Amino acid sequence: MYYNKSMTQISRDDVQHLAQLSSLQLDDAETDSLQQDLENILKYVEQLSNLDTDGVEPTYQVTGLSNVWRDDTVLDSGVSREVLLGLPNEQLAHQIKVPKVL
């Protein structure tokens, strides 16, 4: 989709190309409806691009939360590796054998 035309003009070929890329099969009515929907979306985006945003600070985070990091330390649970490996029914070479899940 290369645009020499207005950004809000979508051709049937554009819609069919997008449908093919999305692995969708559209009949003529669906193609026409989607073409109109896409044009309306692009018209709205075009309206947004005309808004005066001078002096408006970008909003990156609205909840006030920030990442909380902790030290990556090993905690001693009091249970040895050997005890944990002895719990399952089957083990092989210090690994737990589990049934296949397909």
From the CA atom positions of the chain, what is the Rg in Å? Answer: 29
pTM of the model: 0.49
What is the model's pLDDT at position 58? 86
CATH class of 12-49: mainly alpha
What was the pLDDT predicted at 4? 40
Cβ within 8 Å of residue 88, ≥6 positions away: 96, 97, 98
Tens digit of each residue's pLDDT (9 = 90 or more) over 45-93: 989 888 898 998 888 878 888 888 888 888 888 888 888 888 888 877 8
